[in-house]
Structure 1
Amino acid sequence: MGRHKQPQIRERILDACVDHALAHGLPTRLEPLAAASGTSTRMLIYHFRTRDALLREILVRARHRQRQFFGELISPRPDEPYLDTLRRAWQGMTGPEGRPYLSMFGRLREGHEQQLWPGFRREATTDWLQPMEDGMRSIGRPELGTLALAVVRGLMIDLEATGDTTRVDQAFDHFLAALEPPH
């Protein structure tokens, strides 16, 4: 008779693997994940069946964390003008807490990692559209939700590719200034 799976152990292992992947990227082998989670590669396979299945679950869990974190940042606040919310959100998304997500999910547009989550690019675009439209609605411009999302995503890709924080932050500030209503 085989062992009974213990979901709490699996969850602890998965969280440790996600933490590791956010800090270091998705590894090509299981050994770094086993070390980070305090277990063996054999136990990783026991709990997750295959390396790709584990990597997919890491991506799904990391995406859930990112959606929570970024979602809170870009949601309109009744006591704050939305352009101020976007400015603060940009700092959070591109700062130390947000950058690991940008790195991890930026790689999903490339090669093998894209195969781990084939519909990711579409999902990653559409899931932010409603909160962005809601924010733009708060300044009377819901039709700019797609534009705002495209600018944010494009600048994030630029930042991830170049690391030129100063230039990209300035571009974001110019974008926000263009959204300011005329005085």
Structure 2
Amino acid sequence: MGRHKQPEIRDRILDACVDHALAHGLPGRLEPFAAASGTSARMLIYHFGTRDALLRETLRRARRRQRDFFGELVAPRPDEPYPSTLRRAWRVMTGPAGRPYLTMFGRLREDAEQRLWPDFRRESTTDWLRPFEEGMRSIGRPELATLVLAVVRGLIMDIETTGDVARADRAFEDFLAALVLVTGTQARDAHGES
């Protein structure tokens, strides 16, 4: 009689694989995931079926983490003008805590075959629209969410391509200044002042 799979072990292994992938990228072999999760390649296959199935689940779990993390960052706060929320979110998303997600999913978006996540380009284009709509609704302009999303995505792609964070940061500050003018809101400067 075969052993019964234990979901808590599988879940722990998957979290370790996500941590490894965010720090080092998706491996070409199972051994790095096995070492990171404290198990063997054979046990990875036992729990996930195939290498590609494990990679898919790793990507989906990492994306869920990113949506939760970034979603909290861009959520409107009652005590803060939304452009200030966007400024803070931008700094965290493009800083050390957010960059592993940007790198991982930037590579996935550029993958011509889209073998691991066939519909990723479309999903990743629209999955941030609702959080930005909620934020922009807080200042009475939910219809500007597409513009905010386009600017954020475009500047992130620019950073991933050129590595010029300072230029992208300046462009984002210019965008926030224009957003303040268009919406009639105020944004605190870098030191949190009006």
Letter aligned with residue 81 of structure 2: P
Residue 38 (structure 1) aligns with: 38
Residue 101 (structure 2) aligns with: 101
Gaps of 5+ in 2: 185-194
Please report how far the alpha carbon of residue 125 of structure 1 lies from its aligned counterpart in structure 2 after TM superposition.
1.9
The separation in 1 between residues aligned to 2:139 and 2:111, in whole angstroms, is 39
Residue 3 (structure 2) aligns with: 3
Tell me the number of residue pairs that the alignment of Structure 1 and Structure 2 aligns. 183
The separation in 1 between residues aligned to 2:159 and 2:115, in whole angstroms, is 24
Percentage of pairs with the same residue = 77
SS at match of 1:39: coil
Gaps of 5+ in 1: none
Residue 14 (structure 1) aligns with: 14
* Deviations 1:121-165 (CA, angstroms, capped at 9, x unpaired): 211121211111121222222221101100001111111111111
SS at match of 1:116: coil
Residue 115 (structure 1) aligns with: 115
Please report how far the alpha carbon of residue 101 of structure 1 lies from its aligned counterpart in structure 2 after TM superposition.
0.3
Please report how far the alpha carbon of residue 111 of structure 1 lies from its aligned counterpart in structure 2 after TM superposition.
2.9
Matches within 5 A, 1:118-137: 118-137=118-137
Please report how far the alpha carbon of residue 84 of structure 1 lies from its aligned counterpart in structure 2 after TM superposition.
0.1
Residue 80 (structure 1) aligns with: 80
Letter aligned with residue 13 of structure 1: I
Query: Does residue 61 of structure 2 align to residue 64 of structure 1?
Result: no
With structure 1 as the length reference, what TM-score do the two structures score?
A: 0.96
Matches within 5 A, 1:160-179: 160-179=160-179
Residue 147 (structure 1) aligns with: 147
Residue 55 (structure 2) aligns with: 55
Q: CA RMSD in A?
A: 1.4
* Deviations 1:12-37 (CA, angstroms, capped at 9, x unpaired): 11000000000000011111111111
The separation in 1 between residues aligned to 2:84 and 2:111, in whole angstroms, is 37
With structure 2 as the length reference, what TM-score do the two structures score?
A: 0.90
The separation in 1 between residues aligned to 2:154 and 2:143, in whole angstroms, is 18
Letter aligned with residue 107 of structure 1: R
Contact 1:107–1:113 (Cα < 8 Å) also in 2: no
Please report how far the alpha carbon of residue 109 of structure 1 lies from its aligned counterpart in structure 2 after TM superposition.
1.7
The separation in 2 between residues aligned to 1:108 and 1:150, in whole angstroms, is 18
Contact 1:107–1:114 (Cα < 8 Å) also in 2: no
Q: Kindly indicate which of the two structures has a greater share of residues assigned to helix.
A: 1
* Deviations 1:27-81 (CA, angstroms, capped at 9, x unpaired): 1111111111111100000000000000000001000100000000001111110
